[in-house]
Amino acid sequence: MIIDRLVNEVNKKGNVCVGLDTHLGLIPDRIKKEYQELDEVLFQFNKEIIDKTADLVPVFKLQIAFYEGYGLKGLLGYKRTLEYLRSLGVITIGDVKRGDISSTAEMYAKAHFEGEFEVDFITLNPYLGFDTLTPYLKYIESGEKGVFVLLRTSNPGAKDIQYLKVSQKDEYLYYVVGDRLQELASKYKGSCGYSPIGAVVGGTHVEEAKEIRNRYKDIFFLIPGYGHQGATGKDVSLYLNDGNGGIVNSSRGIIASYKKYEDGNEKFGDYARKAVLDMKEDIESERRV
């Protein structure tokens, strides 16, 4: 089951998820000069990052918007990157945040769980209703695919909707969503005890961290917000279960870390590796406290 693979990889390699939010402003000039085609530029930059970090991390996440924004050539770069990761046997997340119903959702599922954009996990937005998740369940039932459903996100605007008080218990909306999600997730569990139906829980809001982790013990978390958005290793560690139960994403903090160094343009892959090692130490040090 894909969630068992992910949990095993986290046990071996730690919690860092490398976010390949790749756009031209992050790519060194030497790569843009060396390769002429846009898809080749995107792919070669990604390949260097992957080659330097794949032995250190359990999973890579690609935010599709950074590729869609460049049109067909951008999506070709997305496709080629996924193919390369697949050839290495690396677990992938397509950060696509789909949230639609019926036949439309069926086609989204087909697009990202089959064919040229195939990944192991995708992100979904449930705030249109839980029927938006139904078309993905047949892939989850196969054991080969999983999803991370937006629960409580890391952006400041999360409080506009997700923190609305609802229900007879006067609880935040995201708890209502989380309870429904847990009910669904409990129907699909791997031998690891977690479900391939996971949740996106932003690491920047730490006040409710322990309650969220304790309330949803069997749900595996994708945790954004580390680094550039302000979350620290101490913050995100609150969302883990004995060092597992979640992956912590960092994008710019890793792939653009080379910009802090004079020789960064030539050694951007090496500095991405250093950023991953520093991040791993920051997270794992909290377990030793």
Active site residues: 97
Nearest Cα neighbor of 261 from 249, 280, 274 is: 274
CA angle at residue 131 from 210 to 174, to 5 degrees?
A: 20
Nearest Cα neighbor of 248 from 96, 93, 50 is: 93
Determine the Cα–Cα distance for residues 149 and 79; give it in Å rounded to an integer: 23
Task: Give long-range contacts, CB 8 A cutoff, 24+ apart: 259-262.
Answer: none
C-beta separation of 269 from 55 below 8 A: no
C-beta separation of 147 from 133 below 8 A: yes
Residue 183: count of CB within 10 angstroms of its CB: 10
Q: What is the DSSP string of 102-142?
A: HHHHHHHHHHHHSGGG--SEEEE--TT-GGGTGGGHHHHHT
C-beta separation of 237 from 287 below 8 A: yes
In this structure, the strands spanning 91-98 and 16-19 are unpaired
DSSP H helix total and E strand total for the chain: 13, 10
